[in-house]
Amino acid sequence: MNSPPTRLILVYNADGGLLNAVKDAVWKVVRPTTYPCSLCALTYGWVSMHGRWRRFLARLPQGKVFHHSDDFLLAFPGHAVPLPAILLALGDAPPDVLVSAAELDALPDLAALIALVAARLELPDHP
């Protein structure tokens, strides 16, 4: 019997859409200390995902689902968690928090995020 698929659910504390993406890109540059999405700040440059993060995610066996705050609420009504967050879901069960907003806010850089996610997922070939 196959085990249920697991998936990482990465939820940004930003609304989706092109105009919001432009606004966020400018905000990250002009006032980075007030930008409300540490997951975005750690994993994205001006407009695209950092290659190191993209490669790390590609090597993970879990499926990946990306949400912005607005569409996360539609996909998971009643599942309120402080954002941003990285969640882990097993099959159809409600997702659990893998990395909380407070933890994301405290991380100094992308390398620290990768190390934390790897440790939480108990990856054997990561430090």
Q: How far apart are CA 112 and CA 104, in angstroms?
A: 10
Instruction: Find the Cα–Cα–Cα–Cα dihedral 18, 22, 28, 29, rounded to 10°.
Output: 160
pLDDT tens-digit series, residues 41-72: 899 887 789 999 999 999 999 999 999 998 99
Give me 120's structure tokens.
């939480």
Predicted confidence band at 29 (pLDDT cuts at 50, 70, 90)? low
Q: Would the pLDDT of 84 be above 90?
A: yes
Give me 40's structure tokens.
């975005």
